[in-house]
Amino acid sequence: MSELNLVLLGPPGAGKGTQAERLVADFDLPYYSTGIILRNAIEQGSDLGQEAKRYVDAGELVPDEVICRVIEERFDSGEADDGFLLDGFPRTIGQAEMLEQALDSRGRLLTAVLLIEVDDDEIIRRLSGRRTCVKNGHVYHLEFDPPKNEGICDQDGSRLVQRDDDKPETIKKRLSVYKEQTAPLIQYYEERGLLKRFDGSRRPDEVHDTIRASLAALRLEERL
Ligand SMILES: [Zn+2]
């Protein structure tokens, strides 16, 4: 069977997490979200994990090169021989080049880069509708999942607030950072013929169906 080496791209609020969960289940792929694999490496306490931990403990960003080595460790573990789903790396051209080199030195290539697109207004609508309970962090959405009584958590009766992260001004800032970093990356992958675009404003089920269909078509092409 051919490899399915995938990168997932998209702005905050595009529903990447939901799609990642489903793809991982569909194709039985290991899911490499940067945050998760870094945390795992640190917990396992390998030399590399300890190196990463020093940055985290110092409150510094873990350097690209260290993150890439953590990913390479996963590639070499055998679990990713049939493919993987990367999320959160690469975010910049520099990281994309590192990844390309890491794969190339193992005789591997990316299969596709999946970009889930959602326009800014829709992202702001999705994220700014979130309300979080002050006591236990239960999450609601004014539109999609409202509490029974306005402003009050169904589960523990505590007050619901809008977190700073979910305020429109913060969301706009995050979106502009995303665009600045990701626009060149999108072009980079487009030039290499790897980019597949998906309309993330549709229902999660529909987005999932189109991604699946696109990956199935890719595999067919390979066999011809
Ligand atoms: Zn609550």
What digits encode the pLDDT tens for the residues 89-131? 999 999 999 999 999 999 999 999 999 999 999 999 999 999 9
Specify whether 174 is catalytic: yes
Are the CB atoms for 66 and 52 separated by under 8 Å? yes
Tokens of 167: 């305020």
pLDDT tops 80 at residue 224: no
* Cα–ligand 1 centroid distance for 40 (angstroms): 29
pLDDT tops 80 at residue 135: yes
How many Å apart are CA 41 and CA 33, to the nearest integer?
12
* Cα–ligand 1 centroid distance for 139 (angstroms): 8
Whole-model pTM: value is 0.88
Specify whether 223 is catalytic: no
pLDDT band at 2 (very low <50, low <70, confident <90, very high): confident
Specify whether 131 is catalytic: no
Q: Of 6, 1, 14, 9, which is closest to residue 122 (Cα–Cα)?
A: 14
pLDDT tops 80 at residue 86: yes
Specify whether 202 is catalytic: no
Specify whether 16 is catalytic: yes
* Cα–ligand 1 centroid distance for 172 (angstroms): 27
What is the Cα 100 distance to its own chain's centre? Answer: 18
* Cα–ligand 1 centroid distance for 95 (angstroms): 39
